[in-house]
Structure 1
């Protein structure tokens, strides 16, 4: 059969010829978008198992990065191609169980998938991977008796031996050893030409929730099995630091480790637009770009933002996306996911230092710090050994990254938001100021990312970075006047995006701004933005909806008068443009005065 891993349009996959032997948690198969590089890599790895040259792999990544989805699609492709590779999927889950229970469950689910492969009966494969379904040796033997499949005698003999072992009272670890050896034992049975592709999901739970008696690290049972080229393992782990440490300590040199990267930006864009339609949002490419940014291209986080929940808005704007994010990090799935990581770390780490160090590194995403630099930056009162121990634990529980002895923030921006929402004291802001800070933080992050993406010369990019560094400084010291800064952010974004209107003709590399400019008379202009031959002066009102009547014709006329006085004093040779902004709108009767003074107004 020809290769079934084929890409279609817009990072979608061609499903022709692929049978869904197991249901994919993505839902409809056409919802699976992207992950081109990852699937190509794993497909080639699996294909090389036929030649017995593929080593076992650890495919590690935090929750919601899409590991299980990739495994499920790989499983269905391998099953459908019928090229002599038997896919075997097993997911470890939370909840204690004995070595004997694991033994019967693991082997029964393995042989069910072997039968499903030979008979092409996908109900058996689906039964085998469904944790809600009880499987055991008795049920399996009944199914075997009526079947005519290859190697039936050998499989029946092995199952009879398994039944005998269950009836004995062996050491719990012996059951783990026997279970994990079964796939490779089948693949090395004389006459069996098929190889086995073992896909073991959430590997960290093997040690955490399997009672193996005196052996507290049952993963050791894979010491020799992981080296067998006829049945290599593809394991995943959402607690990356935990799995990586266990592989290093107890299964050294048995696995090649790969970190699942965040999604390609264009793939993430296509996915966001697709799910936006599915969930009845009205998402433009600009909004999709913003959602991809605030979720760090992580597919599960994109779904978290877009999935409907009571109290979340339909997304038709960037403001709606911010509100959906705030909902998720405050009370939704994103909060619950990160809390599991946080609580595990807090059991072992001083929670105050944990919050401060984690937030600091998240805030300075992309920068890397030696322990001594962190100690200095945060004025930590810790001795060096304690500091290193706490950093190592934070890394173990996937809250920070480690590279060449230096520590950095995780590439998932939602962690910073969870920390901000749950531990507002980190920011040192009054509670009443928090909401505006939270929103502005996302927009500033996004604008900085846009700068990196703009195809500007080095000189132009430096000028723009310099301008936004000043704005970042203002943002970090926000104590009031939030609406003025929101308006200013909007004007700068309009310049970057070349939206026209009030900012028409202003170069992205040639503008400056001032807030709260005073005239000699003592009167004040909220925003003065100067660019080339143009100067913009803006008034900003953040009155509550019931108080917008206080914006009168006289107030608007006064603004126009003081703006023209300031222009005459300091900007005689520039075109004056006036803008009036109100958070909650205007009364219609003001339209005539806006027209008379040629004032652009917005809410």
Structure 2
């Protein structure tokens, strides 16, 4: 898949999991063609994958090149004059629209966008007369200083362009909650546009250009949408990823960052991060000098650094939320409330209990106001009713908050948190023994990872050693320095879902490898071989691969008729467990 909008995640291969979210919103975008999709909001804390999801949705939709034009815009976390904000919004839309229609990547370069005048010139050059006329109109309004009217014009441009060109637009606006905080009516930035989100009241209802907005401050965005855009948005909360996806993500980071893991530590990492993509990524990119993920001790030391040390990325991100809340309600009672809810985070707690247990001398309305601020800052959660509250259901936030504030409130030695991490690790290892079964699904995924690791880093340097482990290779076969090596899932652009265990892509003149891995008690059968060959054929068509070798690894061997079938069909095979070991 071609990347039209540079994704903040970095290497596109790092995008892992979120299959349910991705599938849901791809279907939501498809339904825009039938005007059946309501404006929606993605809600999740910082660095949990919202932007990665939206940018991947943009690139998939752009690649499909059908009748829905993707528009992605991020509201920056900095003070802006409405006139400048409106111009940036307009230019981003116009240039992305023209890039989509012309398939010219240069129009995705935000540094080259210029001004309303430049946009008019580009639109005229590329034959988009309607966009040219809107740009000229916007330029005139801007020069007249009519900022309110300018915003009304540019805000409506995406849906009006969709109407004029008989197309559909999906408007992806990242960090939408900042629209009320960082935009100002006046150039001097004295009058905050604190209700600017309300200007979308009717705009977001049009089905030919619905909005997909996101927010890292869940309480903040939720309140803005409920208060200023009531009933206009469907909410979509992004939870942590599944254990299976967490394991896949850990293995992928290990491979791409070249940081070894073991079967035991993969399981520990998946459990102790609770499937939070941000935690997993932060662990692998930690500054901790002695980072070692081949031992339980190494994993826990890195986690402690990330959550308890002042330079830890995980700690720093959570402290953004905490410090925002304490700026709004800075007293020891607020810290006591959060600490109490942390200690009881497995259940909802009502205001009466909070007031009585903590001995708070304040009215119920004063307490409710403090709690509302803490909810808005995402360091506690609203219960099912407005009378109930709950601590963040997250072991790591609990320890970060307690490590910073518990000693201020009560007798506490922060070193106790290290003991708690060790106890948690022991519990996780006991509870997840089923994953470590000798031939479990997890063992199969780990076997794939080890073979991929050898193909990427070792096979091309030790040709004879690795070729001797695999039977039925072509005489002229050589392992390559592969462009990419990983398990393969067909892009959601294609309707057919193709899953391949290993795809090692080489240059056109070299052999690419397409592999099937079975690490289990059963032998490999002819029927399984036939299914694999069919899937491999689909992959070759989708990825336009011609020079390939198909191979099968089966740790428990093959039926005799299977080997005859593989020989007849020129498919390589191996049951040599040395392929699952790191050497050299």
Q: 1:310 to 1:403 in 2, by over 3 A?
A: closer
Q: Is the 8 A contact 1:187 1:231 kept in 2?
A: yes
Partner of 2:90: 107
Equivalents in 2 of 1:54, 1:271: separation in Å?
31
Q: Which residue of the other structure, out of 123, 127, 134, is the alignment partner of 1:158?
A: 134
Equivalents in 2 of 1:450, 1:228: separation in Å?
51
Map residues 211-226 of structure 1 onto 2, 5 A cutoff. Answer: 211-213=184-186, 215-226=193-204
Residue 181 of structure 1 pairs with residue 156 of structure 2: yes
Q: Is the 8 A contact 2:61 2:70 kept in 1?
A: yes
Partner of 1:196: 169
Map residues 11-160 of structure 1 onto 2, 5 A cutoff. Answer: 18-125=1-108, 127-128=109-110, 135-148=114-127, 152-160=128-136
Equivalents in 2 of 1:67, 1:443: separation in Å?
31
Equivalents in 1 of 2:133, 2:119: separation in Å?
13
Q: Is the 8 A contact 1:420 1:427 kept in 2?
A: no
Q: Give the CA deviation at 1:134.
A: 5.4
Q: Secondary structure at the match of 1:87?
A: strand
Residue 420 of structure 1 pairs with residue 402 of structure 2: yes
Q: 1:137 to 1:223 in 2, by over 3 A?
A: same
What does the per-residue CA deviation read over 1:39-58, in whole Å, with 9 as the maximum and x for residues that have no partner?
A: 01101100000001100001
Map residues 121-520 of structure 1 onto 2, 5 A cutoff. Answer: 121-125=104-108, 127-128=109-110, 135-148=114-127, 152-170=128-146, 172-189=147-164, 192-213=165-186, 215-309=193-287, 311=289, 313-329=291-307, 330=309, 331-405=311-385, 406-425=388-407, 428-429=410-411, 431=413, 434-435=414-415, 437-448=416-427
Equivalents in 1 of 2:185, 2:424: separation in Å?
48
Equivalents in 2 of 1:284, 1:362: separation in Å?
32
Equivalents in 1 of 2:431, 2:381: separation in Å?
22
Q: Secondary structure at the match of 1:226?
A: helix
Q: Is the 8 A contact 2:163 2:208 kept in 1?
A: yes
Q: Is the 8 A contact 1:62 1:240 kept in 2?
A: yes
Equivalents in 2 of 1:386, 1:113: separation in Å?
48
What does the per-residue CA deviation read over 1:372-413, in whole Å, with 9 as the maximum and x for residues that have no partner?
A: 223344444443222222111111111111221222122333
Gap regions ≥5 residues in structure 2: 435-584
Q: Give the CA deviation at 1:182.
A: 1.1
Q: Is the 8 A contact 1:176 1:212 kept in 2?
A: no
What does the per-residue CA deviation read over 1:164-190, in whole Å, with 9 as the maximum and x for residues that have no partner?
A: 1111111x333332221111111122x
Q: Is the 8 A contact 1:201 1:237 kept in 2?
A: yes
Equivalents in 2 of 1:278, 1:380: separation in Å?
52
Q: Is the 8 A contact 2:267 2:429 kept in 1?
A: no
Q: 1:320 to 1:155 in 2, by over 3 A?
A: same
Equivalents in 2 of 1:288, 1:417: separation in Å?
22
**TM-score, with structure 1 as normaliser:** 0.67
Equivalents in 1 of 2:244, 2:114: separation in Å?
42
Map residues 525-564 of structure 1 onto 2, 5 A cutoff. Answer: none
Q: Is the 8 A contact 1:176 1:218 kept in 2?
A: no
Q: Is the 8 A contact 2:170 2:211 kept in 1?
A: yes
**TM-score, with structure 2 as normaliser:** 0.69
Q: Give the CA deviation at 1:263.
A: 1.0
Q: RMSD across aligned C-alpha pairs, in angstroms?
A: 2.2
Q: Give the CA deviation at 1:204.
A: 1.1
Equivalents in 1 of 2:185, 2:427: separation in Å?
51
Q: Is the 8 A contact 1:401 1:407 kept in 2?
A: yes
Q: Is the 8 A contact 1:93 1:205 kept in 2?
A: yes
Q: Is the 8 A contact 2:83 2:142 kept in 1?
A: yes
Q: Give the CA deviation at 1:313.
A: 2.0
Q: Is the 8 A contact 2:82 2:185 kept in 1?
A: yes
Equivalents in 2 of 1:379, 1:302: separation in Å?
39
Q: 1:381 to 1:324 in 2, by over 3 A?
A: farther
Of 264-273 and 381-390, more deviation after overlay is shown by: 381-390
Equivalents in 1 of 2:248, 2:398: separation in Å?
25
Of 323-332 and 137-146, more deviation after overlay is shown by: 137-146
What does the per-residue CA deviation read over 1:443-483, in whole Å, with 9 as the maximum and x for residues that have no partner?
A: 3334555676678xxxxxxxxxxxxxxxxxxxxxxxxxxxx
Equivalents in 1 of 2:149, 2:431: separation in Å?
56
Partner of 1:542: none
Q: Is the 8 A contact 1:88 1:196 kept in 2?
A: yes
Q: Secondary structure at the match of 1:423?
A: helix
Equivalents in 2 of 1:395, 1:237: separation in Å?
14
Equivalents in 2 of 1:158, 1:412: separation in Å?
49
Partner of 2:573: none
Equivalents in 2 of 1:452, 1:391: separation in Å?
35
Equivalents in 1 of 2:260, 2:181: separation in Å?
43
What does the per-residue CA deviation read over 1:402-435, in whole Å, with 9 as the maximum and x for residues that have no partner?
A: 221222122333222221332240684565xx32
Q: Secondary structure at the match of 2:236?
A: strand
Q: 1:341 to 1:20 in 2, by over 3 A?
A: same
